[in-house]
């Protein structure tokens, strides 16, 4: 046989079970040596038939004519192939060649046209034993047996064959491949092909093309059987499929060709599996939380493909194993993405078991078993971020939680806890409490690890001893270990730490299996340092316990939190560290009902006792009241500055009215607990009530002091609580305004209460004092107008946020 050469892609594309049914010479009823005149005559005949309305296939003849006759589309396709030199030559190589100069004079071809197939076979069998036309006759026999086998296979798809017919079909296949082997091993037929190429004289055809056809023909023949096997497997005829694969493996064209043909024949199935994998992979990459759905859909899509592969290939076959493992590896990738994203380890186990059913290699099955065991341990360990219902939360909420989740992965547990508390204040859903418990637990574990890592039992005293030992010579170290302090000795060896000898008490101890000693003074210092280290360790463990205890409150049923808590309690017991409560931590975190507290508080409406953000309708009203207060302030300043004739109590009344308006505005606007709001309002309104009732219990100055004190308190509360509302810029302005206002009030009071003494000392200073006083009040009026505008803007902002 000739050596393996480059493949003829056109021939391999023809290698299907319909290779002879689509052969242009069989479709058109023309001989392989039909001239252009024959072709032109055939075209004319066809055109005339079309004009007369006669079906072209009704009046055609030729060897082994098609049943049923070819369709109009098949005839048109055959005519197109006839006009393409490459296609024509390939169909010529797969049809009957005359053993003499003319097909019309060839007795075997004439017998075929008469339907005498057996006679034609006998003629070619006799000719195959002679030189010259013998190899052409062998080629014709190969085509005849091959065509007959494929026609039988076509009938087999429509009805089953009995045992006798199956044996007959198997014998035909064996004869076909025997004759093809003869053709491939010989040279005469290929000489005829090369001569035919020269005769056609076309630039697309070279003698090298003949070599390519010869090199590719064995693979093309085997591909036909592989594709028959695939078709049989897809329709459920596994026995027939296996027979054809066995036939492919038995044909001895060349070593390794059978496996190569099977691999190429399976390429469409491989492409289908790869397409399904790519589609599923894009799904779980974009939405890993739905990865289980994509993995199950992938398993369903590849099920039919793998069934076909299993029907035609035995276990252990390389192609079978590679297709199975390619699909399974993709399923494992999807399971990993899903499990990590959702922490649904139980569903991950189900997906792994589904993948294991399709795994072919022992290595992959072992990996799946390890992954299943890992998921089971994850279930036992608990303390996951996600819990049932997590992905059922509103999309906006899950998006916020996933952003917080990234903080925990980056080690920013404090930031994650703060944001989760804010979210829980609004929702308090079970999955969100699990996220908070997760963050608290990791924070506690991190604190415990830091405390234990920073704990250094090697105190400065021990370090000094080790340093002194390292500086000694070998002889000195030996003598030091030999000469130990002796109660009966007058002279003691130098202390290993301080190097003093005048001590009377010492301590012997073992450090890393080395017997050492130190004087009592150094021992006391060592104990002090060690106890300080131990105290720091206890504090770290106590702080870690607070976080873990709070995590347990948030999710009392999580095994991971409980296990970590029990382990840390054991450590605390060894260190004689008391078990703390979560009260201080709750206070530190700024306990918000709905996030930390009792279950009923989480599910109840937002409580008012701790104070909530003001409703939008109240925010606007509060801003308006502040504006009115500012106007009253400006009016007071104006009347006082221009010394208008007004009743004595009018100015204080204006001041107190201003204070009452500001107090009520604060009640509506600030983030102040309800009880404190009413207390502030009462304190601010009390002087006004007294004045309106004309109860002269206090002087105007006392009224003014009380009103001003209430005003300070209101402004400071406002500034303090703006920060809670998250208005950072406003908070800064609020603090600045509050302290400025407080300072100006202090200056005004000093001038008011000290004006008498100042005037006594400086009689001419009266007018100056009044001018300064009016300026102070003018400045405070401007500040109040600023506060009113700021609060109105804050109220508008609050309405937009809500």
pLDDT tens, residue by residue, 453-491: 999 888 899 999 999 999 988 888 888 888 888 887 777
How far is it, in rounded angstroms, from Cα 141 to Cα 631?
116
Determine, yes or no, domain membership for 276: no
Same structural domain, 112 and 201:
yes
pLDDT-derived band at 686, boundaries 50, 70, 90: very low
Q: Which tokens go with 421?
A: 């508390």
pLDDT-derived band at 569, boundaries 50, 70, 90: very high
Same structural domain, 621 and 705:
yes
Above pLDDT 70, what percent of the chain?
A: 68
Same structural domain, 576 and 628:
no
Percentages helix, strand, coil for the chain (3-state, rounded to 5) are 75, 0, 25
How far is it, in rounded angstroms, from Cα 613 to Cα 725?
7
Same structural domain, 648 and 583:
no
How far is it, in rounded angstroms, from Cα 582 to Cα 444?
12
Same structural domain, 143 and 241:
yes
Residue finishing a domain among 207, 229, 264: 264
Determine, yes or no, domain membership for 269: no
pLDDT-derived band at 684, boundaries 50, 70, 90: very low
How far is it, in rounded angstroms, from Cα 95 to Cα 202?
20
Determine, yes or no, domain membership for 407: no
Same structural domain, 259 and 333:
no
Determine, yes or no, domain membership for 388: no
Handedness of CA 60, 63, 69, 71 (dihedral sign): negative
What pLDDT score was predicted for residue 566? 92
What pLDDT score was predicted for residue 607? 39
Q: What angle do CA 495, 500, 504 make, to 5 degrees?
A: 75
Q: Quick check: 261 and 219 in contact, CB under 8 A?
A: yes
pLDDT-derived band at 112, boundaries 50, 70, 90: confident
DSSP code, position 18? T
Same structural domain, 455 and 522:
yes
What pLDDT score was predicted for residue 32? 87
Mean pLDDT on 125-140: 83
Same structural domain, 587 and 622:
no
Residue finishing a domain among 607, 629, 645: 607
Give the number of C-alpha atoms closer than 13 A to the C-alpha of residue 695, restricted to the C-beta side: 7
What pLDDT score was predicted for residue 611? 38
φ and ψ of 579, to 5 deg: -85, 115
pLDDT-derived band at 536, boundaries 50, 70, 90: very high
Residue finishing a domain among 607, 632, 652: 607
What pLDDT score was predicted for residue 443? 93
Most confident of 518-522, 601-605, 621-625, 797-801: 518-522
Above pLDDT 90, what percent of the chain?
A: 35
How far is it, in rounded angstroms, from Cα 698 to Cα 690?
9
Mean pLDDT on 625-647: 60
What pLDDT score was predicted for residue 702? 52
Same structural domain, 620 and 735:
yes
Q: Which helix (H) or strand (E) segment is 760 a member of?
A: helix 728-761
Start-to-end Cα distance in the chain: 86
Nearest CA among 183, 97, 89, 47 for reference residue 175: 183
Q: Quick check: 383 and 555 in contact, CB under 8 A?
A: no
Query: Which range has the worst mean pLDDT, 42-51, 81-90, 108-117, 251-260?
Result: 42-51
Q: For residue 90, is pLDDT > 50?
A: yes
Determine, yes or no, domain membership for 309: yes
Query: Which range has the worst mean pLDDT, 126-140, 215-229, 355-369, 585-599?
Result: 585-599
What are residue 516's DSSP bridge partners?
509
Same structural domain, 43 and 132:
yes
What pLDDT score was predicted for residue 271? 94
Determine, yes or no, domain membership for 774: yes
Question: What does each C-alpha distance from 516 to 457, 495, 507 come to in angstroms?
Answer: 16, 10, 9
Mean pLDDT on 558-571: 91
Q: For residue 735, is pLDDT > 80?
A: no
Q: For residue 605, is pLDDT > 50?
A: no
pLDDT tens, residue by residue, 507-516: 998 888 888 9
Q: Quick check: 424 and 433 in contact, CB under 8 A?
A: yes
Same structural domain, 233 and 337:
no
What pLDDT score was predicted for residue 314? 87
Determine, yes or no, domain membership for 404: no
What pLDDT score was predicted for residue 721? 53
pLDDT tens, residue by residue, 333-367: 999 999 999 999 999 999 999 999 999 999 999 99
Same structural domain, 596 and 624:
no
Q: Quick check: 20 and 220 in contact, CB under 8 A?
A: no
Q: Is the pTM of this model over 0.75?
A: no
Nearest CA among 570, 518, 525, 526 for reference residue 544: 570
What pLDDT score was predicted for residue 441? 93
What pLDDT score was predicted for residue 630? 58
What pLDDT score was predicted for residue 273? 95
What's the number of domains the chain is made of? 4
Structural domain boundaries enclosing 645: 616-801
What pLDDT score was predicted for residue 601? 47
Determine, yes or no, domain membership for 411: no
pLDDT tens, residue by residue, 415-443: 998 888 887 644 567 888 899 999 999 99
pLDDT-derived band at 323, boundaries 50, 70, 90: very high
Nearest CA among 704, 740, 705 for reference residue 719: 740
Mean pLDDT on 780-787: 54
Q: Which tokens go with 512?
A: 């890393």
């Amino acid at each position: 046989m000739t050596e393996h050469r480059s493949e003829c892609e056109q021939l391999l594309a023809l290698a299907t079970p319909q290779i002879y049914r689509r052969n242009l010479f069989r479709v058109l009823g023309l001989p392989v040596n039909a001239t252009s005149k024959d072709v032109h005559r055939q075209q004319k005949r066809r055109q005339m038939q079309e004009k007369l309305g006669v079906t072209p296939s009704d009046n055609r003849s030729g060897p082994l004519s098609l049943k049923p006759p070819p369709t109009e589309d098949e005839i048109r396709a055959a005519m197109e192939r006839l006009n393409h030199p490459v296609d024509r030559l390939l169909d010529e190589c797969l049809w009957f060649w005359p053993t003499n100069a003319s097909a019309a004079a060839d007795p075997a071809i004439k017998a075929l046209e008469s339907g005498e197939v057996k006679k034609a076979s006998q003629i070619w069998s006799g000719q195959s034993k002679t030189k010259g036309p013998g190899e052409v006759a062998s080629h014709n026999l190969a085509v005849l047996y091959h065509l007959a086998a494929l026609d039988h296979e076509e009938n087999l798809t429509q009805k089953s064959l009995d045992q006798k017919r199956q044996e007959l079909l198997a014998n035909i296949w064996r004869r076909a491949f025997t004759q093809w082997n003869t053709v491939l091993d010989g040279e005469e037929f290929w000489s005829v092909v090369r001569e035919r190429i020269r005769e056609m004289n076309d630039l697309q055809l070279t003698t090298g093309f003949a070599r390519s056809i010869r090199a590719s023909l064995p693979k093309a023949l085997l591909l036909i059987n592989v594709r028959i096997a695939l078709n049989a497997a897809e329709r459920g005829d596994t026995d027939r499929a296996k027979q054809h694969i066995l036939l492919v493996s038995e044909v001895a064209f060349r070593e390794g060709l059978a496996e190569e043909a099977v691999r190429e024949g399976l390429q469409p199935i491989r492409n289908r599996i790869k397409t399904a994998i790519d589609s599923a992979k894009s799904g779980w990459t974009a939405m890993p939380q739905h990865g289980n759905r994509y993995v199950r859909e992938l398993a369903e899509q590849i099920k039919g493909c793998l069934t076909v592969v299993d029907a035609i290939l035995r276990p252990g076959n390389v192609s079978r194993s590679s297709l199975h493992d390619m699909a399974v590896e993709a399923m494992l990738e999807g399971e990993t993405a899903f499990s990590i994203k959702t922490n649904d380890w139980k569903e991950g186990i189900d997906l792994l078991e589904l993948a294991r059913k399709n795994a072919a290699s022992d290595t992959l099955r072992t990996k799946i078993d390890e992954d299943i065991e890992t998921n089971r341990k994850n279930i036992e360990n608990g303390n996951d971020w996600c819990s049932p219902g997590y992905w059922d939360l509103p999309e906006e909420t899950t998006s916020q939680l996933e952003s917080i989740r990234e903080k925990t992965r980056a080690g920013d547990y404090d930031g994650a806890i703060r944001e989760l508390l804010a979210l829980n204040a609004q929702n308090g859903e079970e999955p969100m409490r699990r996220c908070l418990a997760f963050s608290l637990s990791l924070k506690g574990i991190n604190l415990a690890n830091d405390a234990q890592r920073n704990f250094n039992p090697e105190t400065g005293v021990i370090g000094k001893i080790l340093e002194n030992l390292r500086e000694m010579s070998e002889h000195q170290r030996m003598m030091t270990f030999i000469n130990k302090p002796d109660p009966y000795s007058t002279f003691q060896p130098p202390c290993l730490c301080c190097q003093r000898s005048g001590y009377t008490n010492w301590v012997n101890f073992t450090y890393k299996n080395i017997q050492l000693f130190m004087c009592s003074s150094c021992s006391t210092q060592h104990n002090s340092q060690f106890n300080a280290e131990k105290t720091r360790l206890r504090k770290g463990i106590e702080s870690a316990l607070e976080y873990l205890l709070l995590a347990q409150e948030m999710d009392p049923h999580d095994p991971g939190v409980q296990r970590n808590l029990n382990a840390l309690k054991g450590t605390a017991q060894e260190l004689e560290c008391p078990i703390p409560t979560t009260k201080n931590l709750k206070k530190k975190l700024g306990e918000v009902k709905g996030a930390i507290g009792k279950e009923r508080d989480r599910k109840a409406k937002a409580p008012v006792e701790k104070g909530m953000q003001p409703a939008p309708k109240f925010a606007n009203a509060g801003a308006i009241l502040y504006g009115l207060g500012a106007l009253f302030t400006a009016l007071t300043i104006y009347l006082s500055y221009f010394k208008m004739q007004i009743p004595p109590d009018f100015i204080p009344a204006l001041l107190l009215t201003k204070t009452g308006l500001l107090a009520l505005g604060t009640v509506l606007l600030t983030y102040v607990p309800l009880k404190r709001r009413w207390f502030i309002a009462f304190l601010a309104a009390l002087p006004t009530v007294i004045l309106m009732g004309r109860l002269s219990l206090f002087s105007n100055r006392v009224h003014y002091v009380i009103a001003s004190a209430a005003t300070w308190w209101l402004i400071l509360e406002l500034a303090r609580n703006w920060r809670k509302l998250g208005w950072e810029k406003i908070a800064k302005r609020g603090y600045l305004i509050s302290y400025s206002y407080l300072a100006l009030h202090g200056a005004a009071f000093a001038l008011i209460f000290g004006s008498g003494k100042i005037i006594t000392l400086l009689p001419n200073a009266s007018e100056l004092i009044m001018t300064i006083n009016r300026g102070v009040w003018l400045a405070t009026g401007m500040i109040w107008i600023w506060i009113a505008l700021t609060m109105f803007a804050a109220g508008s902002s609050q309405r937009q946020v809500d």
